[in-house]
Amino acid sequence: MNEERPDIIDVDEWVREGSRSPIQTMAAYREHWARAEADPDGYWLAQAKQRVQWRKQPSYGLEGNFSSVRDSPIAWFGDGELNVTESCLDRHLETRADKTAILWEGDEPGDTRSLSYRELHEAVCRCANALRELGLEKGERAIIYMGMVPEAAIAMLACARLGAVHSVVFGGFSAEALRDRVRDCGASLIITQDVGKRGSKNIPLKQTTNAALEGEHGVRKVLVFQRDPSVEVEMKAGRDLWWHEAVDKASPSCEAVCCAAEDPLFILYTSGSTGRPKGLVHTCGGYLTWTAYTHAVTFDLREDDVYACVADVGWITGHSYIVYGPLCNGATSLMFESIPTYPEVDRYWDMVERHKISVFYTAPTAIRVLAAHGEGPVRKHDLSSLRVLGTVGEPIDPAAWRWYHEVVGQGRCAVVDTWWQTETGGHCITPIAPATPAKPGSATLPVPGIMPMMVDAEGAPQIGPAEGRLCIVYPWPGMARTVWGDHGRYVATYFDTFKSMYFTGDGARRDSDGYYWITGRVDDVLNISGHRMGTAEFESALIAIDEIAEAAVVGYPHPVKGQGVHAYAVLQPDAGDDLDAIGKHAHAAVREAIGAHARIDRLQFVPGLPKTRSGKCMRRILRKIAEGEPERLGDVSTLADPSVVEVIVEGAKPFTSR
Ligand code: WTA
């Protein structure tokens, strides 16, 4: 506590004790921030050289700027050459060969595996050799569709070893969503597994892959890791190979392919406000510098830390903060296959105790789920190993923050609420564990080199305390460089809304201390339990079924998931009146188009959507109704038929009055 400022929680002195981080105090933070602002090239070149192993060291920093990004993409460290796996693996063999690199905890408690840096290096080399044997070449794309097994990380690194570009698709996605991604990136190879394991359930990854590949001819080979020999899966002769047959017999040494700093490292698909998901492209040198820097600085990483990020490698958090950042830093990185409530709601705390986890990183939605079960399950365990607690993915409400800090962290750990995006590659606004005084609910201050700007709807900069749209005005090494195959869409999405600025899509408030409070998306992107989904994806799934003519989907505040999905659907004239059956059909259509993690919470049939005379759907009105505030609809005079609103408000009551 801070006596003069009860709204501020100071860093506990012991959190700083023993730190060797360059940023341990606010004075050091300010000094770094000022240096990165005054001389970004110098600052980031030094970080790149210090934290990354290069074949050829870069001699300059940034090329390009946000005004000319349409014609020339942003580039960092343009003349550098490297292979990221040499930073993540080879160089550790000298000093950390026997240190645990990946500590895996399987679905069943205590089912663990541990791979030392030497073993991980060998495994990656074997896998890379097998992939090369299967014809995977530099620059080619491979899709990784797996659960949380060490082989997922091994597959990512094996692609990187060959200079091939991986695109990990979250294991919850449907066959249709997987097929879209395979096609969009033109993948020639898929790496998957028989089944994934989550909370004692089997996720049929191979079966879904088979369905996705029906009629697809671009994918030449499918490499299949066997997670459960008791499960039989269909293997297609000539196309499908078992991991244990192809990889285990391959040679354990493999020369890394030399890449340019700006060669693509991976593509990761993410949802936007319109159209299909975009394949954001991250490149080797800048991304690795950014993830290594932020992972070390934000969490104040120590050599003997047991670091656990319980995200999934299918999302950016898994890429940056389970695989690339931690391994580049030589950390022990835990990989967790299961869910926080299996077999009991104390699973995380049981793991913290058994593995002596010191840095723990999760999402607000998990914290809210667990907080609902009270202190009992936490108090059962010895959590004295914890030093830093992180959150990511959505705004964390002050109550959940305090529960995390007081109950899990026993009031002595640093809580870092890290704000960032798939597009930013790594943390952008976040406390630095040993330095930054916290305010529950605030992501606090920008990482050195990040220059946020708040603007109003017209793009006018807001100075001092303000509320507005969050932009970033200067490039940083970790940012995505383009959208795969569609640079125009990248420019249109991020740089056309406000001139010469990167627009995040988020709204935020900045207080009189300069602290940022992220309020959530201001566009049509939903954030459901930290999973990012576009309203357009739900809508196109709904209108694809015969019974539905039109649909509009909006988010509303949900106590556990952060946001819930409210769908308004207009039936076709000949749809019939069996609404239950139509509802089931609609839910199934969404599951098929997106995946099991996408669910409509409220489906409301309406006679029509509120449209302007020019035919534009006024989503603002639908949002207010879903939020249970029909008295605050604002101006509805431009509607073609205002009477439809009353019917919708009436129809929403069973949902919103709960
Ligand atoms: C939201 C996840 C508030 C935000 C790393 C952003 C957050 C979107 C926070 C990106 C946070 C992420 N506080 N909101 N600490 N972290 N968000 O691409 O709306 O899956 O734009 O990346 O999540 O989601 P994405």
Q: Where residue 191 falls among pLDDT bands split at 50, 70, 90?
A: very high
State in Å: Cα 179 to ligand 1 middle. 26
Same domain, 544 and 450: no
Where is average pLDDT lowest: 166-170, 273-277, 445-449, 604-608?
Answer: 273-277
Q: Where residue 217 falls among pLDDT bands split at 50, 70, 90?
A: confident
State in Å: Cα 617 to ligand 1 middle. 27
The atom of ligand 1 lying closest to the CA of 521 is 19
Same domain, 235 and 254: yes
Is the Cβ atom of 419 under 6 angstroms away from ligand 1?
yes
Find residue 527's DSSP bridge partners: 532
Phi (first) and psi of residue 621, to 5 degrees:
-65, -45
Give me the pLDDT at residue 2, please: 79
In three-state secondary structure terms, 258 is: coil
Task: Return the percentage of the chain with pLDDT > 90, whole number.
Answer: 95
What pLDDT digit, counting tens, does each position of 101-126 carry? 999 999 999 999 999 999 999 999 99
Among 521, 537, 565, which residue terminates a domain?
A: 521
Ligand 1 mutation target, pool 527, 529, 531, most atoms within 8 A of CB: 527
Is the Cβ atom of 166 under 6 angstroms away from ligand 1?
no
State in Å: Cα 638 to ligand 1 middle. 34
Is the Cβ atom of 417 under 6 angstroms away from ligand 1?
yes
Give me the pLDDT at residue 633, please: 87
Same domain, 510 and 601: no
Q: Read off the pLDDT of each residue in 488-507 and give the average, rounded to a whole number.
A: 96
Same domain, 175 and 66: yes
The residue behind tokens 């700093």 is: 261
State in Å: Cα 432 to ligand 1 middle. 17
In a domain, 579, yes or no: yes
State in Å: Cα 639 to ligand 1 middle. 33
Is the Cβ atom of 184 under 6 angstroms away from ligand 1?
no
What pLDDT digit, counting tens, does each position of 444-471 carry? 999 999 999 999 999 999 999 999 999 9
In three-state secondary structure terms, 362 is: strand
Give me the pLDDT at residue 614, please: 87
Q: Read off the pLDDT of each residue in 249-274 and give the average, rounded to a whole number.
A: 96
Tokens of 220: 């030449």
Q: Where residue 1 falls among pLDDT bands split at 50, 70, 90?
A: low
Same domain, 637 and 566: yes
Residues, the chain: 658
Among 521, 550, 568, which residue terminates a domain?
A: 521
**CATH code, domain with 583:** 3.30.300.30
| Long-range Cβ contacts of 236-242 (<8 Å, 24+ apart) | 236/210, 241/134
Give me the pLDDT at residue 658, please: 64
What is the domain count for the chain?
Answer: 2
- The domain of 427 spans 1-339+418-521
Same domain, 74 and 148: yes
Ligand 1 mutation target, pool 294, 420, 535, most atoms within 8 A of CB: 420
For the cut 80, the answer to whether the pLDDT of residue 410 exceeds it is yes
The residue behind tokens 């975009």 is: 278
In a domain, 116, yes or no: yes
Same domain, 160 and 243: yes
**CATH code, domain with 24:** 3.40.50.12780
In a domain, 97, yes or no: yes
How far is the CA of 557 from the CAs of 367, 481, 568, 624, 630, in angstroms?
16, 33, 16, 11, 15
Same domain, 443 and 559: no
In a domain, 118, yes or no: yes
Is the Cβ atom of 346 under 6 angstroms away from ligand 1?
no
State in Å: Cα 220 to ligand 1 middle. 36
Task: Return the percentage of the chain with pLDDT > 70, whole number.
Answer: 100
Q: Where is 423: in which H helix or E strand?
A: none
Same domain, 236 and 248: yes
Is the Cβ atom of 280 under 6 angstroms away from ligand 1?
no
Instruction: Report which of 78, 82, 279, 275 is spatially closest to residue 168, judged by C-alpha positions.
Output: 279
Is the Cβ atom of 527 under 6 angstroms away from ligand 1?
yes
Give me the pLDDT at residue 637, please: 85
The atom of ligand 1 lying closest to the CA of 518 is 3
Ligand 1 mutation target, pool 421, 479, 510, 535, most atoms within 8 A of CB: 421
Q: Where residue 151 falls among pLDDT bands split at 50, 70, 90?
A: very high
Same domain, 22 and 164: yes
Tokens of 645: 């609103």
Among 498, 521, 544, which residue terminates a domain?
A: 521
Q: Which residue has the higher pLDDT, 511 or 658?
A: 511
Ligand 1 mutation target, pool 287, 365, 506, most atoms within 8 A of CB: 506
In three-state secondary structure terms, 178 is: helix
Provide the b/e sequence for 465-499 (b: ≥16 CB within 10 Å). Answer: eeebbbbbbbbbbbbbbbbbeebebbbebbbebbe
The residue behind tokens 């990889």 is: 247
Q: Whose CA is nearest to atom 5 of ligand 1?
A: 421
Strands 359-362 and 306-309 turn out to be parallel
CB 269 within 8 A of CB 278: yes
How far is the CA of 658 from the CAs of 75, 365, 630, in angstroms?
51, 21, 15
Give me the pLDDT at residue 420, please: 98
Strands 452-455 and 240-242 turn out to be unpaired
Q: Where is 317: in which H helix or E strand?
A: helix 316-318
Q: Where residue 287 falls among pLDDT bands split at 50, 70, 90?
A: very high
Q: Whose CA is nearest to atom 14 of ligand 1?
A: 394
Give me the pLDDT at residue 275, please: 79
The atom of ligand 1 lying closest to the CA of 418 is 15
Tell if the pTM clears 0.95, that is, is over it.
Answer: yes
State in Å: Cα 253 to ligand 1 middle. 39
Amino acid at 144: I
Is the Cβ atom of 521 under 6 angstroms away from ligand 1?
yes
In a domain, 377, yes or no: no
State in Å: Cα 318 to ligand 1 middle. 14
Ligand 1 mutation target, pool 280, 282, 419, most atoms within 8 A of CB: 419
Instruction: Report which of 495, 493, 395, 477 is spatially closest to residue 443, judged by C-alpha positions.
Output: 395
Cα distance between residue 638 and residue 629, in whole Å: 19
State in Å: Cα 218 to ligand 1 middle. 34
Is the Cβ atom of 518 under 6 angstroms away from ligand 1?
yes
Same domain, 512 and 542: no
Tokens of 329: 């830093």
Is the Cβ atom of 269 under 6 angstroms away from ligand 1?
no
The atom of ligand 1 lying closest to the CA of 532 is 20
Give me the pLDDT at residue 604, please: 97
Give me the pLDDT at residue 634, please: 84
Mean pLDDT over the full length of the chain: 96
Same domain, 574 and 512: no
CB 361 within 8 A of CB 310: yes
What pLDDT digit, counting tens, does each position of 594-644 carry? 999 999 999 999 999 999 998 889 999 999 999 999 888 888 888 999 899
CB 542 within 8 A of CB 589: yes
What pLDDT digit, counting tens, does each position of 72-92 carry? 999 999 999 999 999 999 999
Give me the pLDDT at residue 636, please: 84
Q: Where is 251: in which H helix or E strand?
A: none
Instruction: Report which of 146, 241, 238, 150 is spatially closest to residue 192, judged by C-alpha positions.
Output: 146
